[in-house]
Chain A
Amino acid sequence: MLLHLLVLAPFVAAILMAATSKEDPKSSSRLAFIFGLAFVVLSVMLIAAGNKATDPIEWFRIPGCKGPVYYYLYSHGLGAWMVFLSTALSLVALVSARVTACKNYRNFAIGIFSLMGAMNGTFLAADAVLFFFFFEAMVIPAAILIASYGGKESSKAAMTFAIYTLVGSAPMMVALWYLLTKADNSLLLSLAVALQSLPAGAQTAILASFLLAFLVKTPVFPFHGWQAITYAEAPAPLSAILTGAMSKAGVFGFIAWILPIFPLNMSIVSTMMWLGLATAVYGALMALRATDGKKLLAFSSMSHLGIAVAGVFSLSEAMLPAVLVLLVAHGLCAGAQFFLMGIAERMAGTRELDKLGGLSGNSPVFSTLFGALGVMSLAVPGTAGFVGEFTVLLSLWDMGPFAALVMGFSMILSAAYMLRFIQKVIFGKASGSYDNGPRTSGLEGASIGIMAVLLLVFGFHPAFVTDSLHLFDEETVEQMNDAGKAADGEEAAETDEDADEDELPQAMTPDEIAQLDSSLKANGFTDEERKSLITQVVGAEAALALESRVQAGLDAEASDDAKTNDEALNKEASND
């Protein structure tokens, strides 16, 4: 229920927002705030709830594919935290946009809610097609929001963004379709199994097209062409969501889809890791030269995500918690920095670094927050960023000291550009020709302050974040095993009555599990991770099998004609 609410309710909220008056931004902003807060509460509940899955609902069938596409949501620690980022940043964006007094606040809120729904869907989808659907759907509200609320070159930015990301994921669509024609259904495990049966060349081609989509989305050097202009031209609250939550879809894709499906060989892994490191250094160097505050933040965020990608492909045991903490820290920190840059732009009327300065004298609260978050983005110990970057550094160290050294270099550079940024914006003398736009509002300051406090809390007690990954170790695994056993029992009982038993969709056979297990092991997953992944997949399959069996049972009592039809269908489905 929680999962459905988080994915579908944002769209409902968007529709409800459309019902509010366009002329009355106050009331619509209140409504939007209430909705946003509710979603944040829901996402926190989701994190606390641990692993959850909905019942798979058959959605539609793609011509040429064997199995149906399911509407099937699944939440694990990583996805739940990403959902938290998306809801939390959306809430702050809704708060922040209120001060900017968008004339068209209502439409802004509609866009934000649809974006949030799409992002949540991306992070929670357990079905590859559903994932891809939401992955693409994210782009549309984001592009529309950029075009209609952005800066001077907003339409160009929106076009660049939309075309770049959609083109980037187009090969993935083809590859996914091709894979689906071979697989039993579009769930993770059957994709992985189907991939094993393909020739090596086809595997590589499919892997490349999957990788491309995520590389563009993250973005990783050299596919970052859309990023700087998009983040700079988008309205600041939206930039915060884009970098804090949406860009995580790329890294999330690497972890949740690439690693389990593909048997990666060492050359691909190390290529990806070096690409990530190149991104980290390149982003930092570009940030050193940036003259536009938002572009600087865009490159900084690119640099940090490069580190995250490098961490993912270090494939060490510590990878998953390390990257998760890094992503959460970066989401909160970079998001908050974009909000603050938006406030600076609003107050000063410019985002050129050379024209800014001296804001610490004008508005101390703002500059305190600005300085604090700038420092937090430097991964100073005691903040969540440190835990993330240190553990990623630890993972990279396993791949060789040189990789760690490169990452250390990017950390030094990050200090250089971030301190320059802080100095240019809040220190020195005010240039005097500011627009004196609205200052930080109370709610805005409080929400950004809460983000800073969260960073500190996670920095001193990262277990809040990392424990959500352990949640599916003990209880859930057993629970799922029980479900599987129950299904087995039922199966045994029904064997006599139901001759169609064999032709029903099957749960995993032990052979298949062993095959998957070995491929996962080859990819460097730890025992615990493997166990949980397999349990996750087996549980899903078992649930599916159970459902179709029940249906078959019901059908058996129906008329003869219907039964034959059904049988024929089932046969067809399982024979394909």
Chain B
Amino acid sequence: MTQLPLWLIPLFPLVATILLGTIAVISSGSKKGPAEGIVGALAVLFPALSFAVVAVLAFGMPEAGIRETLCNWIDIPLFKADIGFMFDGLSRIMLLFVTGIGTLIALYSTGYMHGDRGFARFFAYINLFLFSMIVLVLSDNLLLTFLGWEGVGLCSYLLIGFWNKDLSNCKAANKAFIVNRVGDIGFLLGMLCLVTVGGSGILNYDALSAFIQMILTGGHVEIVLPVLSLTGLLFFFGCTGKSAQIPLLTWLPDAMAGPTPVSALIHAATMVTSGVYLLARMGSMFALLPVVLDIITVIGMLTAFWAAMAGLFQNDIKKVLAYSTISQLGYMFMAAGVCAFDASIFHVFTHAFFKAALFLGAGAVIHSLAGEQDMRKMGGLIKKTPVTACVMIFAFFAIIGFPGFAGFWSKDLILERLFVSGPMGPTFYVIGLFTAIITAVYMGRLIILTFFGEYRGSKESEEHIHEAPASMLLPMVVLAFGAVFAGYLWAESIGVTFFSDTLAPVVGSAQAYAATLHPHAHVNPMIFAGLGTLAALLGMFIAYKVYGSARVPAAKGSSAPEGRKATWTFFFDYVHKYVGIIPVQVLAWICDVVVDKILQAAQWTIGAIATILGDGATVVQVRKVRLQVAFSIAGVVALVAVVLLTGGLI
């Protein structure tokens, strides 16, 4: 069987983008807008085709993966880059869930965005996003990955600001893009660092691995370690931007201004995990850099803990999920920080399912409540929307790591790897476990406030509550199914190691290298599983005790947390304000008001001098024509006299 070419995968969403974009622009003039049936069909069909191609390729993939160079991209002295794709164990996993969940969410969106004025525009953006995301994970070099990297950031900007009539949405979008841009500069400079070490060819992942291998076998690690550490830090800085880690995490909660399917697709399942993907992809390099790895672990741990705490105080259902996403991403970074790249990618994979299910469920709730997002105005919805409630509860069990559900397998794996990672391992483990308890508490709070108890909204709105249409329910159910069973791809306790086997060719050598540095004793995985289960149960119990019976204070206007909690949870916004924004504003003020004025004054002075000189010259120019003629004749006489007396100057 001839193999399908790899470029087909990104091609489909690209074609869809162009088609839908054209439709959106053409139909923008008409009153009615384009037919939603056709647009929706196109929007779902193309990602589905892409998914089919990925699936076909995934089954026929050889062990070493498929590589394909399409054409040359940049070719100048000092720098050459190709457009090339690489389909191996890692990109197979990523592509499967990117295109798969992408298709499901496109289907969901046809129901969610029904009747919106920008229906076609929305799907054009979604397809553009899928294109960029596919390029990100499919590319075989860092530069092309960067194309996808900025591309997904751009789509995120477009989709957060999708309802652009409201300026606060635009501001959230701007914030997302600018914060990401700060991280992207880290990515760019990291690439330049790498180029200094090994020339432009090293941007290719295979070449990078070969280079690292060469260093290792040659024993030159110490020579390149400083530069590589800087490189690693810069790349990690780029990852903190995209994956919303400390210090660049503030944009993600604000990004919830976008339509809910966007939050599910971009800000939970796919885009924000690209930082983890990048770490795993460059795993062979990061494994050499103990300092960078420690920083990654600590940052991931702090993020996971802080975001979980912040999640406790949110009232907006989507904000809770946003902070929970940040917290889960922190787990993934912790895993990557102890060189457990396969575990972190596994968590990316399971997280994609249950977090997407949670977001879609939240979207269905918001949809049924006609746009209400404040949890304090919900309650008792399990009776009205049973399917949504079931989906969300399954996903809830998955995220808190209830035994048997997807999150259980991946989170326990991460905690186990943390414990055995080295001397600091047990500390990391304890904090991770404590964070897991908090996770169970705030997620339990979300479920209880939303689905149990009495409905706390107004009476009129209660009558309109309805279950979402089938196009929305179907993807939710599929994802809930994934949230339950995705974990069984790697359940070591029952002997399934499919997931780690498929990743082994990509990250295996890096992890083997790291393992040689910290030989660890074998531990019984059952103890970890038991402790994890205990944490989940404890968290659920606390949530039940605290929120199950408590009277929820009636909601006032805003859904933001009140009082000191607000300033505390948005702590990093203040940090950004005082570290980033205000200095720049002051600098701009200095440029505008001081420097510019000084320059203008200098110009004015020169102009004034010229004017004064000119005025002086006009004194000679008298008002009398007769006198001027006399002057000119006197001048001629003087000139003649000079010529006669000196015999000419020339």
User: Do A and B touch, yes or no (CB under 8 Å, in the complex)?
Assistant: yes
Residues of A that sit less than 8 Å from B by CB: 222, 225, 282, 285-286, 288-289, 316-318, 321-322, 358, 360-361, 364-365, 368, 375, 378, 380-382, 386-387, 390-391, 393-395, 397, 401, 404-405, 408-409, 411-413, 415-416, 419-420, 423, 426-429, 460-463, 466, 526, 528
In the assembled complex, the Cα of A433 lies from the Cα of B581 at a distance in Å of 33
Set B76, B178, B584: member contacting A318, Cβ < 8 A? B76
Residue among A225, A368, A382, A428 having the largest count of chain B Cβ atoms under 10 Å = A382
Q: Judge whether B489 is part of the interface by a CB distance below 8 angstroms.
A: no
Please, which residue of chain B has its CB at the minimum distance from the CB of A222? B599
**Known contacts A381-B151, A416-B178, A387 near B74 by CB under 8 Å:** yes
Contact yes or no, B77 A526, CB < 8 A: yes
* Smallest CB-CB A-B distances: 3 pairs: A364-B28, A381-B147, A408-B185
Q: How many residues of B contact A (CB 8 A)?
A: 52
Residues of A within 8 A of B154 (CB): 375, 380
Residues of A within 8 A of B592 (CB): 285-286, 289
Please, which residue of chain A has its CB at the minimum distance from the CB of B580? A412
In the assembled complex, the Cα of A393 lies from the Cα of B177 at a distance in Å of 21
Residues of A within 8 A of B584 (CB): 285, 288, 413, 416
Set B76, B147, B165: member contacting A382, Cβ < 8 A? B147
**Known contacts A286-B596, A381-B146, A387-B74, A427 near B164 by CB under 8 Å:** yes
In the assembled complex, the Cα of A316 lies from the Cα of B591 at a distance in Å of 30
Q: Judge whether B578 is part of the interface by a CB distance below 8 angstroms.
A: no
Residues of B within 8 A of A416 (CB): 174, 178, 584
In the assembled complex, the Cα of A391 lies from the Cα of B74 at a distance in Å of 9
Contact yes or no, B75 A466, CB < 8 A: yes
Residues of A within 8 A of B167 (CB): 423, 427-429
Residues of A within 8 A of B196 (CB): 397
Contact yes or no, A318 B185, CB < 8 A: no
Residues of B within 8 A of A361 (CB): 165
User: B72-100: which have CB < 8 Å to A?
Assistant: 72-79, 83
Contact yes or no, B588 A286, CB < 8 A: yes
Contact with A along B316-334 (1 / 0, CB 8 A): 0000000000000000000
* Interface window among B187-195, B256-264, B283-291, B301-309: B187-195
Residues of B that sit less than 8 Å from A by CB: 25, 28-29, 71-79, 83, 143, 146-147, 149-151, 154, 157, 161, 164-167, 170-171, 173-174, 177-178, 181-182, 185, 188-189, 192, 195-196, 584-585, 587-589, 591-592, 595-596, 599-600, 603
Residues of B within 8 A of A460 (CB): 73, 83
Residues of A within 8 A of B157 (CB): 419
In the assembled complex, the Cα of A177 lies from the Cα of B143 at a distance in Å of 49
Residues of A within 8 A of B591 (CB): 282, 285-286, 289
**Known contacts A316-B78, A381-B146, A225 near B599 by CB under 8 Å:** yes
**Known contacts A318-B79, A415-B177, A415-B178, A404 near B603 by CB under 8 Å:** no
In the assembled complex, the Cα of A387 lies from the Cα of B600 at a distance in Å of 36
Residues of B within 8 A of A412 (CB): 178, 181-182, 185
Please, which residue of chain B has its CB at the minimum distance from the CB of A322? B76
Residues of B within 8 A of A288 (CB): 584-585, 588
Contact yes or no, B599 A317, CB < 8 A: no
Set A282, A426, A461, A528: member contacting B73, Cβ < 8 A? A461
Q: Return 15 A-B CB contacts under 8 Å, by A number.
A: A285-B588, A316-B78, A318-B76, A322-B76, A365-B28, A380-B154, A390-B143, A393-B192, A395-B78, A397-B189, A408-B188, A412-B185, A415-B177, A463-B75, A528-B77
Please, which residue of chain A has its CB at the minimum distance from the CB of B168? A428
Contact yes or no, A391 B79, CB < 8 A: yes
Contact yes or no, A427 B73, CB < 8 A: no
Closest Cβ–Cβ distance, residue B306 to chain A (whole Å): 25
Closest Cβ–Cβ distance, residue A404 to chain B (whole Å): 6
Set A420, A462, A466: member contacting B174, Cβ < 8 A? A420
Set A225, A285, A364, A415: member contacting B587, Cβ < 8 A? A285
Contact yes or no, B75 A289, CB < 8 A: no
In the assembled complex, the Cα of A222 lies from the Cα of B591 at a distance in Å of 11
In the assembled complex, the Cα of A526 lies from the Cα of B196 at a distance in Å of 19
Residues of B within 8 A of A401 (CB): 189
Residues of A within 8 A of B600 (CB): 225
Please, which residue of chain B has its CB at the minimum distance from the CB of A361? B165
Closest Cβ–Cβ distance, residue A131 to chain B (whole Å): 27
In the assembled complex, the Cα of A428 lies from the Cα of B163 at a distance in Å of 9
In the assembled complex, the Cα of A405 lies from the Cα of B25 at a distance in Å of 39
Residues of A within 8 A of B29 (CB): 364-365
Contact yes or no, A360 B164, CB < 8 A: yes
Residues of A within 8 A of B147 (CB): 381-382, 386
In the assembled complex, the Cα of A413 lies from the Cα of B588 at a distance in Å of 10
**Known contacts A225-B600, A285-B584, A408-B189, A318 near B78 by CB under 8 Å:** yes
Contact yes or no, A397 B25, CB < 8 A: no
Contact yes or no, B181 A411, CB < 8 A: yes
Closest Cβ–Cβ distance, residue B121 to chain A (whole Å): 9
**Known contacts A285-B587, A285-B591, A423 near B170 by CB under 8 Å:** yes
Residues of B within 8 A of A420 (CB): 174
Contact yes or no, A317 B77, CB < 8 A: yes
Residue among B73, B76, B151, B171 having the largest count of chain A Cβ atoms under 10 Å = B76
Please, which residue of chain A has its CB at the minimum distance from the CB of B163? A427
Residues of A within 8 A of B150 (CB): 380-381, 386
Contact yes or no, B76 A321, CB < 8 A: yes
Please, which residue of chain B has its CB at the minimum distance from the CB of A164? B603
Residues of B within 8 A of A393 (CB): 188, 192
In the assembled complex, the Cα of A526 lies from the Cα of B76 at a distance in Å of 12
Residues of A within 8 A of B25 (CB): 364-365, 368
Please, which residue of chain B has its CB at the minimum distance from the CB of A396? B192
In the assembled complex, the Cα of A466 lies from the Cα of B74 at a distance in Å of 9
Closest Cβ–Cβ distance, residue B207 to chain A (whole Å): 17
Please, which residue of chain A has its CB at the minimum distance from the CB of B167? A428
Q: Given A411-B181, A419-B173, A427-B165, 7 more contacts at CB 8 Å?
A: A321-B77, A358-B165, A390-B188, A394-B78, A401-B189, A415-B177, A427-B164
Please, which residue of chain B has its CB at the minimum distance from the CB of A397? B192
Closest Cβ–Cβ distance, residue A259 to chain B (whole Å): 16
Residues of B within 8 A of A528 (CB): 77
Contact yes or no, A380 B75, CB < 8 A: no
In the assembled complex, the Cα of A386 lies from the Cα of B144 at a distance in Å of 12
In the assembled complex, the Cα of A368 lies from the Cα of B29 at a distance in Å of 13
Set B170, B195, B589: member contacting A427, Cβ < 8 A? B170
Set B166, B173, B178, B189: member contacting A404, Cβ < 8 A? B189
In the assembled complex, the Cα of A397 lies from the Cα of B151 at a distance in Å of 24
Residues of A within 8 A of B587 (CB): 285
Set A289, A358, A461: member contacting B588, Cβ < 8 A? A289
In the assembled complex, the Cα of A461 lies from the Cα of B603 at a distance in Å of 44
Contact yes or no, A282 B78, CB < 8 A: no
Residue among A318, A381, A382, A460 having the largest count of chain B Cβ atoms under 10 Å = A381
Residues of B within 8 A of A395 (CB): 78
